[in-house]
Amino acid sequence: MIVTLTLNPSLDRTLGLQSLRRGEVLRATSARIDPGGKGVNVTRVLRAFDVDSHAVIPCAGPDGEELVRLLQKAGVPVTEVPVAGWTRSNITLVEADGRSTKVNAPGGALTGEEVALLADTVVDRCVSQGIENAPASWAVLSGSLPPGVPDGVYANLTSVFAEHGVRVAVDTSGAALVAALDAGPDLVKPNRQELAAAVGTPLNSIADVVAAAEKLLSRGVKAVLASLGADGAVLVDSAGAVLGTADPIDPVSTVGAGDAMLAGFLAAGARGEKALIEGMAWARAAVGLPGSQMPGPADVSREGIRVVRDPGGKPAGAVRLADDG
């Protein structure tokens, strides 16, 4: 069982455009509304592959009710915790050439009592699914923090869940990511920019990425899965480093690709080359779909994905990353 906690979920509204021209009145060529939020996306894609997963979210106002309705309609298991604020709506503008511009709303504030109730709900979901007999169970803590929530919330939650024998994956950025490192999560999944910010140095090559991930391991993190966009992904854990690369594809939308990568990696056992390949395959499938749509088995191909072990210690480790990471 994989339980996801999204403290700042959203309705994701996606509009298709021929091109984005500032200051003009534009006509959308398409429109769709999807459930949003990184943890929500992880559960959505896991359920599409028949992997047991359950989403826990705060819920407030009409947009929160619509979010829950969309998840239930899609057959996604969800437990909503009523809160006093509001559920945000995000807007993504997708141009005909695949470029995406996303505007994320801040979301409603959460009180300490509401965060504690959400944490209790995650623990309850894990225990109710027989965590003692399911050592592979995970709690996924992902996404941005709503206003007023302290940066250390994911660190605190990591400790709480670890006390209940639940493995923890953290996918966030900035101060929240840095604070979570010392709590020793089982997995963190930064992108290139987030990893660079966490270690305070630019990452210009695969060797730089491996070295940065090893710094996170030195702080207690057990594994780092770094997504690098068109440059692939790097996995670093106690077994060493593995680089995954893939043949280029024409992107339709990059929204949710990192969430699909995390879901595929966890679904495949969260360790080693097989899990890395699966995560990359799910991410590539997501890139080929519009808006925040999540892939299913029919969308996934593992062809063209290659892995190199110990890329930081071989000539491949010196390869420079593309500017767009």
Q: Could you read off the pLDDT of 153-168 as tens digits, one per residue?
A: 999 999 999 988 899 9
- Cα dist. 234→17, 189, 195, 242 in Å? 33, 10, 11, 6
**End-to-end Cα, the chain, rounded Å:** 32
| Main-chain phi, psi angles of 289, to 5 degrees | -115, 150
3 state SS for the chain: CEEEECCCCEEEEEEEECCCCCCCCCCCCEEEEEEECHHHHHHHHHHHCCCCEEEEEEECHHHHHHHHHHHHHCCCCEEEEECCCCCEEEEEEEECCCCEEEECCCCCCCCHHHHHHHHHHHHHHHHHCCHHHCCCCEEEEECCCCCCCCCCHHHHHHHHHHHCCCEEEEECCHHHHHHHHCCCCCEECCEHHHHHHHHCCCCCEHHHHHHHHHHHHHCCCCEEEEECHHHCEEEEECCEEEEEEECCCCCCCCCCHHHHHHHHHHHCCCCHHHHHHHHHHHHHHHHCCCCCCCCCHHHCCCCCEEEEECHHHCHHHHCECCCCC
Which candidate, 74, 42, 43, 49, places its Cα nearest to that of 298?
Answer: 49
- Give the sign of the dihedral formed by CA 107, CA 113, CA 116, CA 117: negative
Q: Which CATH architecture is the domain 2-318 placed in?
A: 3-Layer(aba) Sandwich (3.40)
Determine the pLDDT at residue 313. 55
Determine the pLDDT at residue 312. 67
Say how many CA atoms lie within 13 Å of 28 toward its Cβ: 11
Determine the pLDDT at residue 135. 40
List the catalytic residues.
Answer: 259
pLDDT per residue rounded down to tens, the chain (325 residues): 899 999 999 998 989 999 999 999 999 999 989 898 999 999 999 999 999 999 999 999 999 999 999 999 999 999 999 999 999 999 989 899 878 898 989 999 999 999 999 999 998 888 765 444 444 389 999 999 998 899 999 999 999 999 888 999 999 999 999 999 999 999 999 999 999 999 999 999 999 999 999 999 999 999 999 999 889 999 999 999 999 999 887 777 777 899 999 999 999 999 999 999 999 999 999 988 876 778 888 988 899 899 999 886 543 444 456 544 3
Centre a 10 Å sphere on the Cβ of residue 238 and count the other Cβ atoms it contains: 8
Determine the pLDDT at residue 315. 38
Tokens standing for residue 10:
């959203």
Which candidate, 294, 7, 254, places its Cα nearest to that of 139?
Answer: 7
